[in-house]
A and B are shown apart, each in its own frame.
Chain A
Amino acid sequence: MRGRSFPDQTGWLMKKKLIAILLVIFLIIGGFATLLILLPSQIVKEKRELQALIQASTTLNKIWQQGDVDKKWKKGKYKCELDSSERVGDDYLRCNPSFINCFLSNQSLTTEVAGKTYQVKALSFGKSFFQLIARSKDEGILIPEYGILVELTISGKRSLKVILKDYCSETYLPQRIYAQGAFKKQNDWRWDNFGQHIVVDKFQVSGQDISFWKDSLEIKSRPAVGLTLKEMKDYCSFRGKELISTHVYDAAAFHPGDMDNIRPIRNMRGPYPWTKRNKDSFLYRARISQDFSFESRFCEKAFTKECLQYFRPKGFDVGSVSWMGMYQILGGVMEVQNSMIYEEKNLMPSSYLFDVKSPWHQLGLRASWDGKDYLPNAFEWKGYPPDKFEPLIGFRCMRYISEDY
């Protein structure tokens, strides 16, 4: 038998090479085609970027609403211009534009969509990552009463504009029958809010709130003081609210007794927001007992004059709290409200201007302030003036809401 001749062998090798080359070309083309089918189109890529930004906005909203959840600022891991952590309660950082600035300058947002990780950053406006946005000063559709606008981006070319609304500062006043002022057996002034929905500020307006209103970035966590009544009302208007009225304040502050009975025949109420029983309170014992001894722990409930020897006054202090979540009620700074029933009695003097035995440290007792300035004749103290006066009058706002607005 003869083997293949030389020319046959060469032809067969050539064929094998050609087949191999064609196979490689086919595999390459097939691979590209598969990649093209599996790779997302440009528009799908854009959609995934947007999804990543929406996820990042959810994280940012959580930080905005809840503040320093991971305690990184408290532990000193963020370098920011904020009030000292020893001098503020945790609520200071909630719905706080300065804290959002701090968070965004110290931490990035990372999200994952369809197996891909995205680094989200905020675009800056000058020195900060936000712009204050409010209906009282800005026009357009989708403008909230008050909030901050942050622009989130991945590529830097397109951004998602996220408006974080300020809801942290409010608490709802449940519907029931209430009464104004200290309890009276006769002629107790009663009212009810059935058919209405009211929210009140949890805390007094802070110095930081006022500085944002006036376009400065000062950091002051303690209650704003030294304003006239008109300035206070103008600030509340800026926020889409009004100065809290005396009857709504008392409704929020006085413990209603039987919480389940929302239509009581009489509104029995004690003078202290945290208890139904007067005699349980240190303030009552201070007034009636000769051998009362002050303790620093009382400062949590009411920051009176004695507290200054132990502590510095604290911003967003949550010690003095009422049954429905309103804070800073007794002690601290004085507070003015809008009085419509007894026109001139609008000032709650309970503050660290008065010692613990002062009769002013109870609910329902009010002095008068004309609201124009801080001269002595602007006040009527009903026989109990402070030993040394300072212009320490704070305020808070309230507003009406409905199912839809």
Chain B
Amino acid sequence: MIDDFGAKLFLNWHAAYEVILHGKEYFNSDKNIERPFNTWQSLIEIKTLNSEASKEVRQCLVYRVPYQQRLGILKLILLDDGEKCREVYEKKPLAEILNVKVIKFFYGTKKINAIKERKVIPPFVLSLNVDGKWISVPLLNITGKREFKKYSDGRIRSYNRGVLYWPYSENRVDLIKRKVSQQFIGKLSDRYLDRTLKMCEKVSDDCTIVGERKCHRCRFGWFDVLGSKCKTNRIKFCRPNFCGERGEPACIRGNSYLGKQEEFGCVGGSKAGFCKPGLGTYCDGNGILICL
């Protein structure tokens, strides 16, 4: 039963691209899940693709914690639109394991040393120990942080760097005939001057992200602009980038080159930005340093 559950989990979750740990306290602790006993707990939710790779699919792992003679149950559940993991404990599962006595979870984007289990959990691999038996599922599309160094090629850390996976299925892919609703933002005709350029990441002066981060959805990539006083992160727009031109954001020159701390942020005449010859930097009504 454990092998079959593990196989079902593997087949369903290998192409997951987002992971939400609902029960963070249950992960990576080398301890059995024992409390709160006799209750259902939502452990982990993932987003993956359907078999045609055209739509998002959400699934949960939930667990009924054992109590005395009433042993635990681990369930894999498919969520319908709008459903939450904590609402579907009684739903018919895709797979389940009954009579669970001991269960431990391990997952991270870096290597984990499960000392008690004497096992090293690789990064991006969801590992469950169910009554002494291991289930391991690589989450192939989950990414970690990028590392920056000389000669590096910009690949983001993942299970298999530089590779994305669509689900193992019977469906063939024909990119030309495929019909999927529009996902990406930005057109080559967009301009800041026309207010059609799309902001994809807003950063406040204290470096917090305001609203949704969506630069990964820019069709033609993104670029930084000046506006926030944050020194380590910038406001971002989806391309096209016409920085330096009249009515467009100023190109970034930086503030370290001056040898003193030039103020960042939206300050007219700021030398942290530059424009084409004949234009100067100004702060517009949106708090973006532009060229006029």
- Whether A57 and B172, one on each chain, are in contact in the complex, defined by CB atoms closer than 8 angstroms, is no
Minimum Cβ distance to chain A for residue B186 (Å): 10
Minimum Cβ distance to chain A for residue B28 (Å): 22
B115 interface residue (CB < 8 Å to A): no
Smallest CB-CB A-B distances: 8 pairs: A192-B254, A161-B166, A47-B7, A240-B221, A163-B164, A190-B257, A140-B180, A340-B244
With A140-B53, A341-B274 already in contact, the answer to whether A172 and B153 are too (CB < 8 A) is: yes
Which chain A residue has the least Cβ–Cβ distance from B138? A54
With A170-B154, A341-B274 already in contact, the answer to whether A143 and B163 are too (CB < 8 A) is: no
B68 interface residue (CB < 8 Å to A): no
Give the contacts of A145-172 with B (CB-CB under 8 A): 145, 147, 149, 151, 157-165, 167-168, 170-172
With A136-B219, A405-B215 already in contact, the answer to whether A160 and B165 are too (CB < 8 A) is: yes
For chain B, the bracket of interface size reads: 35 or more
Residues of A within 8 A of B49 (CB): 141-142
Residues of B within 8 A of A342 (CB): 277
Minimum Cβ distance to chain A for residue B93 (Å): 14
Number of A-B contacts (CB under 8 A): 223
- Whether B153 and A159, one on each chain, are in contact in the complex, defined by CB atoms closer than 8 angstroms, is no
Minimum Cβ distance to chain B for residue A140 (Å): 4
Residues of B within 8 A of A47 (CB): 6-7, 10-11
> Which of the listed residues A131, A132, A157, A404 has the most CB atoms from chain B within 10 Å of its own CB?
A404
A197 interface residue (CB < 8 Å to B): yes
- Whether A172 and B220, one on each chain, are in contact in the complex, defined by CB atoms closer than 8 angstroms, is no
| A/B interface sample: 13 pairs, CB < 8 A | A40-B3, A44-B3, A46-B11, A47-B10, A51-B10, A123-B172, A149-B173, A172-B148, A172-B151, A177-B254, A241-B221, A343-B277, A404-B216
The distance in angstroms between the C-alpha atoms of A245 and B251, with both chains bound, is 11
Interface pick from B77-85, B139-147, B280-288: B139-147
Minimum Cβ distance to chain B for residue A250 (Å): 14
Residues of A within 8 A of B8 (CB): 43
Interface of B is mostly: loop
Minimum Cβ distance to chain A for residue B149 (Å): 7
The distance in angstroms between the C-alpha atoms of A237 and B189, with both chains bound, is 12
Minimum Cβ distance to chain B for residue A402 (Å): 7
Set A41, A132, A194, A405: member contacting B254, Cβ < 8 A? A194
Give the contacts of A188-202 with B (CB-CB under 8 A): 190-197, 199
B188 interface residue (CB < 8 Å to A): yes
For chain A, the bracket of interface size reads: 35 or more
Residues of A within 8 A of B167 (CB): 161
The distance in angstroms between the C-alpha atoms of A162 and B6, with both chains bound, is 22
B134 interface residue (CB < 8 Å to A): no
B42 interface residue (CB < 8 Å to A): no
Which chain A residue has the least Cβ–Cβ distance from B216? A405
Map CB proximity to B onto A52-76 as digits: 1 under 8 Å, 0 otherwise: 0110011001001100000000000
